Structure 1
Amino acid sequence: MLSGPTFNVWDYVVFTLMLVISAGIGVYYAFAGRGQSSSADFLVGGRSMTAVPVALSLTASFMSAITVLGTPVEVYQYGAIFILICFSYALMVAVSSEIFLPIFYRLGITSTYEYLEMRYNKVIRLFGTVLFIIQTVLYTGLVIYAPALALNQVTGVDLWGAVMSTGIVCTLYCTLGGLKAVVWTDVFQVGIILAGLLAVIIQSVLLQGGISTIISDSSQGGRLNLWDFDPNPLRRHTFWSITVGGTFLWTSVYGINQAQVQRYVSCKSLFHAKMALYINLVCLWAISICSVFCGLCLYSIYKNCDPWTAKKVSAQDQLMPYLVLDILSEYPGLPGLFVAAAYSGTLSTVSSSVNALAAVTITDLMRPYLSLSERQLSWASKGMSVFYGAVCIGMAGLASLMGGMLQAAISIVGVVGGPLLGLFSLGILFPCANTKGGLAGLLSGLVLSLWVCIGAQIYPPQPENSRPLPLMTHGCNFSMAPDGTNWTANMDNLTMKEENQQRPFLADNWYSLSYLYFGPLGTVTVIAVGLIISILSGGRQMKLQPGLTLSKEDLTCYKIYNVLKEKVSGRSGKLDLVQELEKSFGKTNFAFCEVELSTQTLP
């Protein structure tokens, strides 16, 4: 807890108002949707959503408190090279919208893991569902813990009381209002996240005398290290690890993760679903640029006195709350706005996760095995939301044992998401893939990813691979380091010398693999092993049902070509290109039909 400024009344008012509005949206949709009693209404919003709110919801779900608190610290310690993640976002959106979205949307499925049974068998479907539940619960626990830590740091409010309040508010509006409440709450929370980041940026620029000063300080401190093309996969962050590794990582989130897929399959047409992804891309860029620039502001202000090295904060993840109180405490309400931003990211991510966990449990674990009416399934969906809300709160305890938020979160996503991405890619892109190949590939990818991830936790990479930048203390008002030595560098050197004496060979040649490559490692392993086993076990003689693999008709470029061809020939009349594309993609979601899809029935 800080010894300086803390929250005042207006900060509490702003923060509480955000929580009340979020909960109020859930209450509104609970009453507005009283006549809708089916599980589809609760889990996928009746499949009637439009592009803009879904796009903002996708952004809010993705931009958790990990982004608000973790990304600026990443830039502060390792430099602005992380901004290259914007390239991977663009590649991820293109791949997700062109390869995965058409398949899931055409099949009209509620859970992405329904596809695994259609393409492989029930065993692999259950395997995928269980892996998703484990991954999501672990990740959500970390996301709940992060802003609770921030609130504890800036206000002194009990840490676990903050954890409980986060989980309870999320569970409340998710249980009451279903997906529609989650989506519209996310729309509100995106605005709060941007406002909180912009408040920090504007005040920092004013204090430092302009953007040019911040850029100059960052350049002199080595923080503008944008173009590092070193191909060494052991290096923590390079152009290749961030763009290539990031593309695989975030495609496993947007392409196949239930929490994200559940949103765009709720759109009323395939055109709206694709547009939601591309609008979301612009929002991702905006928030990423803001969070990276916040990191440069953090460095510019504390370039001569690092609060973490000077023991003014107990963990680096507390640097942003420390900065906020330091520069915004004279403006009542603004510190509360920033903490509301961190909490908004958490509320949106946790509510998305709880809704997705309820969806896969109902669709994959209950509906196939229990004879329940739609009304009973609807009540079961709400019950599962309450259950998973409680589980995620409990898992926040484990999050307190993890390291830096950003790397811990990405490692969790990559280790499980990578192999699952490989399993879906194998089925969608390779018609010869069969059940034996899929299962063998999935197990191989999981084993390899877990091996390197666990090894990296036991033997953290050496500083020459992670390359933390200098953090200085010569400008601090204390006497423990009068010569202005770089404590961080000294600590790193001591750590390196100590570990060199006892580290095994694999520690510096395998376990030091960049955490951004955990996902690609699992994906490539699943596809390679899956193809080999499938071919050896007769996969080329398989006859698949139509619609389970990608075809040229699914690609936007092919549709644009056909539309332009018709316009040139004069057969398309006076409709503009957008109208023609919407007509080509179809105006209604196949899943609007009254008959539920079974695993044996295709559109």
Structure 2
Amino acid sequence: MNEDISIYTGKKNEFRTLDYVLFSLMFVASAVIGFYHAYRDRKKRDIDDFHLGGRKMHPIPVSLSLAATFLSALTLLGTPSEIYTNGTMFYWTVVGMLIATAGAAHVFVPIFYRLNYTSCFQYFETRFGVTVRLIASVLFLLQTLVYMGFVLYAPSLAFEAVTGVSLWGCLIGTAAVCTLYTTLGGMKTVLWTDALQFTIMVVGLLAVLIEGSKSVGGFSEAWRIASENGRIEFLDFSPDPRTRHSVWTVAIGSSFFWLYLYGVNQAQVQRACSLPTLRRAQVALWLNYPGLLLIVTLVSMIGVVVYGIYHPCNPVKAKLIDRNDQLLPLFVLDSLGKVPGLAGVFIACVFSAGLSTISSGLTAMSAVILEDYIKPIAKRTCADAITKHGIAISKLIVVITGAIQFGVAVLISKFTGLILQFSYSMYAITAGPIFGLFISGMLFPWTNQIGAIAGFLLSVAFMCWLGLGSLIEKPPSLKPTLPTYTYGCFKNLNASFTTNTTLSVMTSSMTMASPMMSSTSAAVAEEPMLFDFYRISYQWYTGLGMIVCVFIAVCVSFLTCHTDPKTIDSRLMCPIFDVLFPWLPEKIRKPLRFGVIYGRTDEPNGDFKVRLDDVTCQVNTEAKRHDNSSLVVEENLSTKL
């Protein structure tokens, strides 16, 4: 192992001038893209140009944007820390991503694309009424603000650790730049800056992996060290939902989370609808998966390298850093700080991941607030003003929400712990009920408004009980914690640490294995029964919230005069068994449509015409807006059902 790394020598590599220059260029490039699109589209007044890129985007930048958006700075900073602490089982999330990509491309996106909505919550008003639309969109806005706070905080934390610049300064600068270029150019700017930022992410991660592997004597050596210390594990098939990370927990449990993100999340719906055809939208989703796989693989490999370097001396126990989330920034200073410019590339990589997620959240919230709140209120009084000044109003919303998410990030900076799990848990608590509401409407034709409201509210209450209860009670894990060591901290010990301090840290870590385990076992025997409930893995939160919402919604609907499937507008439904099992004979698939009549020539609302063949599926949609608000859609659809 390279003996020059700072954890052993106490020498701290510094952030040089070249690093600052390379880091700043990323911000400058993002701002330039914003100014360019603001100037180019200065004469356009159609609100679709700001929120949907004029529906003329190309699949390549959209696919890169999707990958960059949902793999945020939390992933880049949190995954190496997760693998250092708990091992490689988290890597099974790539299976969940694959399931989600297929489900989103062929189940959810076709519905949103044909409905031609700007806000995905317009679906709820068409299906259940305005009340459901409003309560779901309120929860989405709260969810997005909190999550963006985490995403803004994560790269700022990294920058503070690497450069010593105040966390407040990092937060202000990042929020200001991101809000600026999003306000200037809207969706077009967001998509093209995301494409640039994805490229920077890949370059930065490769630099960290290559140079870091050299520090530990090669990636194979890091793998050997991690394997000998229990960090390399892929075959935990425990069916117990209390197992934090198992094959089923991560691969299947996380698939619900990713299905929510790629299937019904507003940021994804806007990207899918920014493409000129449904087929291109599906292509963009599938092209996004290799990007997801690449990023997750790189950060997981970096996590193995980080453990290979720091396994003799846990930096948190040695008080070199305050929390596990700072492991990767410390590692970057140790491995890349010796090479001018590489630390700057890494910080640009982390900030790129954060900026892409924040800008997507800002455009999503702007569209939701305008479409779900401002337009309905102004429809009867000042519809002309909304049409004329819609872009200006949307930009003002971006500025306001940017300021609010800065405040949320400041509050989050007071928390400690693994930001990946904490942010994932908080997001999943709210994602499950929203996802369940869409599933109740799209797959279960009997669901009515009363059932939808009951299922949604009770699911939110249930998930708050589970999520907040587990965070407050913090029941001890049934699986022993993987050990960490401090014996290596004696080598060339930093002068700022005393021998007594290190001895006490080392003693506490060495005694973890026996007395702690026995006391934990005794505590488990006497603990409250609810602790087993609170131990359910956070990876199941989205799926559990979805199941609770759907179950209650359907049950309550049958108790309160359920909707007749024959009266349902088939545009709002997905013939799920036709999508999943198209090879089944018609006599089997027909009853599995639950009475919904697909292919009617007169939908209930009278503005959608469908003609069915038994041959292939071709969709040609022509839409134009008139009278400032009405939409005439003529669509010829031939589908083999």
Q: TM-score, normalised by structure 2?
A: 0.86
Among residues 86, 108, 132, which one is paired with 2:116 in the alignment? 108
Counterpart of 2:313? 305
Residue 561 of structure 2 corresponds to residue 538 of structure 1: yes
2:317 and 2:505 in contact (8 A); partners too? no
Q: Which moved more, 1:116-125 or 1:537-546?
A: 537-546
TM-superposed deviation, 1:46: 0.7
Please, which of 67, 84, 99 is the counterpart of residue 91 of structure 1? 99
Deviation string 1:369-389 (CA, Å, 9 cap, x unpaired) is 102332311110000000000
Check if 1:58 corresponds to 2:66: yes
For 2:572, the equivalent position in structure 1 comes to 548
User: Superposed, which structure 2 residues align to 1:164-563 within 5 Å?
Assistant: 164-370=172-378, 371=383, 372-402=385-415, 403-465=417-479, 467-477=480-490, 478=493, 479=499, 480-482=501-503, 485=506, 487-488=508-509, 490=511, 497=519, 500=523, 505-541=528-564, 543-551=567-575, 555=579
Q: 2: CA distance between counterparts of 1:32 and 1:557?
A: 47
Contact 2:443–2:576, Cα closer than 8 Å, also in 1: no
Give the Cα–Cα distance (whole angstroms) in 2 for the partners of residues 363 and 318 of structure 1.
40
**Aligned-pair distance for 1:101?**
0.6
What is the DSSP-based 3-state SS (H/G/I as helix, E as strand, rest coil) of the residue aligned with 1:505? Answer: coil
Q: How many Å apart are 1:597 and its aligned residue?
A: 6.7
Contact 1:148/1:163 (CA < 8 Å) preserved in 2?
yes
- In the alignment, the residues of structure 1 paired with residue 633 and residue 559 of structure 2 have an alpha-carbon distance, to the nearest angstrom, of 29
Equivalent pair of 2:318/2:502 in contact (CA under 8 Å):
no
Q: Are the counterparts in 2 of residues 11 and 334 from structure 1 also a CA contact under 8 Å?
A: yes
Q: Show CA shifts across 1:100-146 (max 9, x none).
A: 11110010000000000001010000001100000000000011011
Is the CA contact (8 Å cut-off) linking 1:354 and 1:385 kept in structure 2? yes
Distance 1:523 1:455, change over 3 A: same
CA-based RMSD of the aligned residues comes to 2.7
Matched, 1:19 2:42: no
Distance 2:414 2:153 in 1: 10
Distance across 2 between alignment mates of 1:507 and 1:65? 34
Aligned counterparts of 1:215 and 1:228: Cα–Cα separation in 2: 18
**Partners of 2:193 and 2:578 in 1: CA distance:** 32
Distance verdict in 2 for CA 1:486–1:512, change over 3 Å: farther
Aligned residue type for 2:487: H
Deviation at 1:436, TM superposition (A): 1.0
Give the conservation status (yes or no) of the 8 Å contact 1:270–1:587. no
Opposite residue 412 of structure 2, the aligned amino acid is A
Which range moves more in the overlay, 413-422 or 477-486?
477-486
Separation (CA, whole Å) in 2 of partners of 1:81 and 1:130: 35
SS in 1 for 2:48: helix
Contact 1:77 1:469 in 2 (8 A): yes
Provide closer, same or farther for how the CA distance between residues 484 and 540 of structure 1 changes in structure 2, counting only shifts above 3 A. closer
- Shift, 1:592, TM fit: 5.7
TM-aligned CA deviation for residue 30 of structure 1: 0.3
Partner secondary structure for residue 488 of structure 2: coil
Higher relative contact order (CA 8 A, sep 6+): 1
- Give the Cα separation in 2 of the matches to 1:488 and 1:584: 63
- Distance (whole Å) between structure 2 residues aligned to residue 48 and residue 501 of structure 1: 58
Matches of 1:92 and 1:405 in 2, distance apart? 23
Mapped partners of 2:214, 2:439: distance in 1: 49
**Unpaired stretches in structure 2, ≥5 consecutive residues:** 1-5, 494-498, 586-615, 636-641
Q: Which amino acid aligns with 1:541?
A: D
Equivalent-residue separation in structure 2 for 1:252 and 1:460 (angstroms): 26
Give the residue type in structure 2 aligned to 1:333.
G
The answer as to 2:140 corresponding to 1:126 is: no
Specify the code of the residue in structure 2 equivalent to 1:440: A
Distance apart, 1:556 and its partner CA: 8.9
CA shift for structure 1 position 368: 1.3
TM-score by length of 1: 0.91
CA distance 1:340–1:136, change in 2 (3 Å): same
Letter in 2 for 1:388: T
The separation in 2 between residues aligned to 1:411 and 1:362, in whole angstroms, is 29
Preserved CA contact (<8 Å) 1:459 1:507:
no
- Cα offset for 1:305? 1.4
Sort the Cα spacing of 1:20 and 1:447 in 2 relative to 1 into closer, same or farther, 3 A: same
2:12 to 4, 15, 18: 4
Are the counterparts in 1 of residues 387 and 628 from structure 2 also a CA contact under 8 Å?
A: no
State the partner residue of 1:576.
Answer: none
Shift of 1:289: 0.3
CA distance in 2, matches of 1:87, 1:14: 35
Note closer, same or farther for the CA distance 1:600–1:226 as it changes in structure 2 (3 Å cut): same
In the alignment, residue 555 of structure 2 is paired with which amino acid? I
Q: Identity of paired residues, percent?
A: 37
Which digits, 9 at most, give the CA deviation of each residue in 1:173-214, with x for residues without a partner?
000000000000000000111111111110122233323212
Q: Distance in 1 between matches of 2:504 and 2:577?
A: 68
**In the alignment, which residue of structure 2 is the partner of 1:574?**
none
Letter matched to residue 337 of structure 1: V
Give the distance between the partners of 1:111 and 1:225, measured in 2 at CA.
Answer: 42
* Cα contact 2:429–2:541 (8 A) shared by 1: yes
Question: Cα deviation per residue 1:219-278 (whole Å; 9 max; x = unaligned)?
Answer: 111111111011111111111110121011111111111112111111111011001111
The answer to whether the 8 Å contact 1:472/1:486 transfers is: no
- CA deviation string 1:39-58 (max 9, x = no partner): 11101111111211100000
Q: Hey, what's the Cα distance between the residues in 1 that align with 2:536 and 2:576?
A: 36
Seen in structure 2, the aligned counterparts of structure 1 residues 200 and 157 have a Cα distance that, compared at 3 Å, is same
The offset of 1:399, in angstroms, is 1.4
CA spacing shift, 1:432–1:476, aligned 2, 3 Å: same
Letter in 1 for 2:448: N
Deviations 1:426-478 (A, max 9, x none): 1000111111111111111111100011101111131334x432111111124
* Counterpart-to-counterpart distance in 1, 2:618 and 2:346: 41
Q: How far, CA to CA, are the matches of 1:481 and 1:322 in structure 2?
A: 19
- Structure 1 residues 356, 484: closer, same or farther in 2, change over 3 A? closer
- After superposition, the C-alpha distances for 1:515-551 in whole angstroms (9 at most, x for unaligned) are 1111111100011111111122221535112311013
Paired residue total: 581
Amino acid at match of 1:462: P
Distance 2:393 2:580 in 1: 38
Q: What amino acid maps onto 2:392 in structure 1?
A: W
Structure 1: state its 5+ residue gaps: 562-582
